[in-house]
Amino acid sequence: MKRIISLFTIAFLFAALGVYQYMNDDQGTVTLAAPSVDFKPKAGFQAVAFRLPALDEQTYEIGGKQGKLSFVNFWASWCGPCELEAPDLKELHAKYGDSIQMYGINATKYDKERNAREFVDEYEFAFPILMDRKGDVTKQYKVDTFPTTFLIDGDGVIRERINGVITMTEWERLIEKWM
């Protein structure tokens, strides 16, 4: 009986520690992750502009005033939900590719570039795939789950942050809403 009570107490302490860390808003972390303490990677905030090289060896700039909606999807080749979402991304690009700017950002720091290239070939992505080799942009945008997608309007304002997979119908609704 004492052993069960001890184990329960330890589990409770770990749970309390987890809640404490979740509730503790450490401003030092925000400062290190973003160039400005004002940047919050969520709807309503200005997207921080960045440049990354793509698989085609061109460099692309995202953020700032682009003139049209940008669809920015963070993913990794080992991510099961990313595999689930891949056919929808291909279809979205076919449908909206002329109307929006669509980018995939491989979190290469947490992935292998060879695997990312194989993933892109397997799913026949025709939109630019940017390689975040150092992980700076992934960190800056506070992406810790894959896939994570940002819809950024033509003025550079983040309109949606989607963590995880959503239906094709929901993608179409959001794109039409912000286009």
Are the CB atoms for 63 and 48 separated by under 8 Å? yes
pTM for this entry: 0.77
Q: Distances in Å between the alpha carbon of 96 and those of 36, 81, 117, 130, 148?
A: 32, 22, 23, 19, 19
What mean pLDDT value characterizes the chain?
Answer: 85
Q: At what angle do helices 168-178 and 80-96 cross, to 10 degrees?
A: 50
Whether residue 6 is predicted with pLDDT greater than 90 in this model: the reply is no
Give dist(CA 134, CA 137) in Å, integer: 8
pLDDT(25) > 50: no
Count the alpha carbons within 13 Å of 6 in the hemisphere toward its beta carbon: 3
The SS3 assignment for 59 reads strand
167 contact partners, CB below 8 Å, separation of at least 6: none
Cβ neighbours around 171 below 10 Å, total: 22
What pLDDT, on a 0 to 100 scale, did the predictor assign at position 34? 38
Q: Nearest-CA neighbor of 129 among 138, 120, 121?
A: 120
pLDDT of residue 32 exceeding 70, the answer is no
Q: Per the omega criterion (within 30 degrees of 0), is the bond before 147 cis?
A: yes
- Neighbouring-strand partners of residue 62: 50
Amino acid of residue 48: V
Domains along the chain with CATH numbers:
36-178 (3.40.30.10)
pLDDT, residue 12, reads 52
The pLDDT of residue 15 is 53
Could you read off the pLDDT of 81-114 as tens digits, one per residue?
A: 999 999 999 999 999 999 999 999 999 999 999 9
Query: Which pLDDT band holds residue 69 (cuts at 50, 70, 90)?
Result: very high
Q: How far apart are CA 61 and CA 59, in angstroms?
A: 7
Quick check: 64 pLDDT over 70? yes
In contact, 105 and 75? CB cutoff 8 Å: yes
Q: How many CA atoms lie within 13 A of 123 on its CB side?
A: 23
Whether the predicted pLDDT of 75 surpasses 50:
yes
